[in-house]
Amino acid sequence: MTRKKVKLQYIVNETARKATFKKRKKGLMKKVNELSTLCGIEACAIIFSEYDSEPEVWPSPLGVQRVLSRFARMPEMEQNKKMMSQESYIRHRIAKAEDQLRKLQKENRHKEMTYVMYRFLAGDAPRNLSMVDLNDVGWLLDQNIKDIQAKIEAVKREQNASHGRTAVVNEATTRTSRDDDQSGVAEGMSVAAAADWSMMTPVQDYQWYMDLLRPDVHSGVDETLLPIAPNNTCLGPNYSMFP
């Protein structure tokens, strides 16, 4: 079971505030002890509260004096380098909350303008739009057009590369088919992978169709080595002559 997130604000109820103080104080002392032991550093803790007449210190009064003396000998700039007061902590929290608010406002604005853009495309143009709204919709349209053009160019490059690979495979297939035709089809090989369409004899043509109907033979046939039709269209998995 996950722990419930605690809202950081002053606890008004005195009984609950006192119980929380005791629990948190014990946990703080434990963490300081673990930090000092595991990392081998000098640390101390001093806690003043309205519930105790004397401040509680860790690890001991002498140990606290030793750490504070070492801290006092440091230059002032080094002392304040990582120091955080209650005011600076609150300012940091406020700045972080403002950043999150601006991010959410930007996301909501993008979604709102996307909805307006789709209404324009559907022929249901909203009325009473301000100049800022129109500029945002125009910018969003430009961005979408750029994205579409980029995708189109990527598809074109992929198609050109695919055509180049197909041409190389067809050339290699034709060369292999001619060599096999001169030396004879090896035993156990499908005629579909060894002969060019225009070089097939009637017997080979019949045997090629029979091989296609036999799943045990076709399962091992490389589709890149299928014969080339007269219109230079390689027969695909559906074995259709149509492009």
Quick one: pLDDT band at residue 57, thresholds 50, 70, 90? very high
pLDDT tens sequence across 175-226: 666 665 555 544 444 444 444 545 555 555 555 545 544 544 444 444 444 4
> For the chain, what percent of residues have pLDDT higher than 70?
67
d(C-alpha 230, C-alpha 44), whole Å? 89
pTM above 0.75, yes or no: no
203 exposure class (CB count in 10 Å sphere: 0-12, 13-18, 19+): exposed
**Domain 14-77 class in CATH:** alpha beta
| Portions of the chain given CATH number 3.40.1810.10 | 14-77
